Structure 1
Amino acid sequence: MNKNMLLIGGSHGIGLEMAKSLEKDYNVYIAARTKEQLDGLNATYIPFDATQDTLDESSLPTELHGFAYCPGSINLKPLKMLSLESFREEMELNFFSLVQVVKTIVPKMVEGSSMVFFSTVAVGTGMPFHTSVAAAKGAIEGFARSLAAEYAPRIRVNCIAPSLVDTPLAKRLLNNEKKREMMAERHPLKRVGTARDIANLAVFLLSEDSTWVTGQVMGVDGGMGSLNIS
């Protein structure tokens, strides 16, 4: 019997790439706001808005073997242009909604199951204009490590910290060739990430190939988080 994987926000970008890889070997459940991109995908769609809805447990299988929370934001502004409400919105989408879903599904996570969350390179590497998103994603990293400790050895919990990835979320930052070249040059590997780059590691962490990996924050960032080649 195939194992069950739940993706929150799996209808675009990294989540969609994960679903495409997972559908071959797992029963995939995708809880997201839209399903247009899911046509032809072997997955069960669950209407769900992470900022407004409570996940309906009756729509899920009785057992879950893997879970990934994919919703995120890129709200890059100087601190003086960010209101307190901006910080609250970042926390609601990135962190509090994640916590709410985790509390709902953790009783369904079976022995040996895996959770994957997403952070950003900007948590470990200070970057201007990232205060609100880095604060929210930093909360995720702390939560992931503590959760991994609390639920070991039954559930593994890991976090991926990407740099800029070419997804719909980053469209404003990559909407012309000059911007693309500039963003690529900032990375030691001289390119922007792809959804597939990140999805490959996420699928590995959800699989049985990573059964001795937990409590980690892993950078997939073209070298930006650890190399200085200037």
Structure 2
Amino acid sequence: MWLDHRTQTEEHLVSLKIDLDGQTALVTGASRGIGRDIALTLTEGGADVVVVARRADTLADLAREIGDRGQSCLPITADLTQPESWERVAERAWTETGSIDVLVNTAGLIVRREPPEVTLEDFDSTFDLNVRATFFLTQAVGRRMLEAGSGSVVTITSVAAETVTKAPVTYQASKAALVQMTRALAIRWGPTVRVNSVAPGYVETDMNREWLSDPENRQWLVEHTAMQRVGEPADVSDIVAYLASPLSSFITGQNIVVDGGWNMR
């Protein structure tokens, strides 16, 4: 996987390779959307992957696609809201692959309800997956990374963690918690393990399909985005691959916003 950059005079071309050869990445929420695209992008960089999601059928399809590309893929079916899953996933991934060099926390939930209608179940389900599961899986994998002497953790947050959006309040609060978790872990785990997060704006995924299907919503979004378009999963997965690679070896504790300039509106 190569990044090409030309100077202002266009006279020189500098190629930087995102080299993940020999590394293994664990990606949660990998069955669809951004998580799936991240898993595929990391394999393009040479990584083998462990993919985690609730649905065995979609994971099996992804594993076959990755296998056809010549990379190894271990699918693990798990409900990460269940406490027993965190250590089980970490132990199986580490045991069957030998090590986990990169952890990408993508699994997330959004419950679209206005504040007066939010129930305790809505609140708990959002924080159980978005915050609790992310922390404890990161703890289980991170403990092993610290013992191994290296590692990179990348968590998918949201532009809603940086600025107020139209997203549900519970979702925004959960993503803000992940940003602070990223920063706190980066301080505690450096220099051994790097910990960063990526904050997508509005991206064409199943999670956003209903909202983006409204022409007025889409028009509003495009008009308020500097790049004048809706984000694609690849916009996010390319940044994740960079953070997973040695090219970002001096970057930790950062929440990188990938929103086409929407938050500057």
Q: Does the alignment reach a TM-score above 0.5?
A: yes
Equivalent residue for 2:78, pick from 48, 52, 57? 48
1:118 corresponds to 2:156: yes
Equivalent residue for 2:47, pick from 12, 18, 26? 26
Residues 26 and 51 of structure 2 are in contact (CA less than 8 Å); yes or no, is this contact kept in structure 1? yes
Higher relative helix content: 2
- 1:95 is matched with which residue? 131
Structure-1 separation of matches of 2:166 and 2:134: 25
- 1:64 is matched with which residue? 100
Say which one has the larger Rg: 2
Unaligned runs of 5+ in 1: none
Q: How does 1:106-185 map to 2 (within 5 A)?
A: 106-109=142-145, 110-185=148-223
Unaligned runs of 5+ in 2: 1-20, 68-72
Question: Per the alignment, do residues 21 and 128 of structure 1 end up closer, same or farther by CA in structure 2, a change over 3 Å counting?
Answer: closer
Q: Once the two structures are superposed, what CA deviation does each residue of 1:97-146 show, in whole Å capped at 9, x if it has no partner?
A: 11121122123224331000011111221234531001111111111100
Larger CA deviation: 213-222 vs 111-120: 111-120
Question: Per the alignment, do residues 166 and 37 of structure 1 end up closer, same or farther by CA in structure 2, a change over 3 Å counting?
Answer: farther
Q: How does 1:7-26 map to 2 (within 5 A)?
A: 7-24=27-44, 25-26=46-47
Once the two structures are TM-superposed, the CA of residue 40 in structure 1 deviates from its matched residue by: 1.7
Structure-2 separation of matches of 1:164 and 1:129: 10
Residues 122 and 130 of structure 1 are in contact (CA less than 8 Å); yes or no, is this contact kept in structure 2? no
Aligned pairs, how many? Answer: 227
1:208 corresponds to 2:246: yes
User: Secondary structure at 1:166's aligned position in 2?
Assistant: coil
Structure-2 separation of matches of 1:179 and 1:40: 34
Residues 152 and 193 of structure 2 are in contact (CA less than 8 Å); yes or no, is this contact kept in structure 1? yes
User: Secondary structure at 2:52's aligned position in 1?
Assistant: strand
Percentage of pairs with the same residue: 27
Question: Per the alignment, do residues 190 and 129 of structure 1 end up closer, same or farther by CA in structure 2, a change over 3 Å counting?
Answer: same
Larger CA deviation: 51-60 vs 150-159: 51-60
Q: Once the two structures are superposed, what CA deviation does each residue of 1:155-184 show, in whole Å capped at 9, x if it has no partner?
A: 000011111110111121123555433332
Once the two structures are TM-superposed, the CA of residue 218 in structure 1 deviates from its matched residue by: 0.9
Residues 52 and 75 of structure 2 are in contact (CA less than 8 Å); yes or no, is this contact kept in structure 1? yes
CA-atom RMSD in angstroms: 1.8
Using the size of structure 2 for normalisation, the TM-score is: 0.80
User: Secondary structure at 1:193's aligned position in 2?
Assistant: coil
Structure-2 separation of matches of 1:59 and 1:20: 18
Question: Per the alignment, do residues 126 and 180 of structure 1 end up closer, same or farther by CA in structure 2, a change over 3 Å counting?
Answer: closer
Question: Per the alignment, do residues 105 and 162 of structure 1 end up closer, same or farther by CA in structure 2, a change over 3 Å counting?
Answer: same
Structure-2 separation of matches of 1:199 and 1:96: 23
Residues 4 and 26 of structure 1 are in contact (CA less than 8 Å); yes or no, is this contact kept in structure 2? yes
Using the size of structure 1 for normalisation, the TM-score is: 0.91
Once the two structures are TM-superposed, the CA of residue 150 in structure 1 deviates from its matched residue by: 0.4
Question: Per the alignment, do residues 129 and 161 of structure 1 end up closer, same or farther by CA in structure 2, a change over 3 Å counting?
Answer: closer
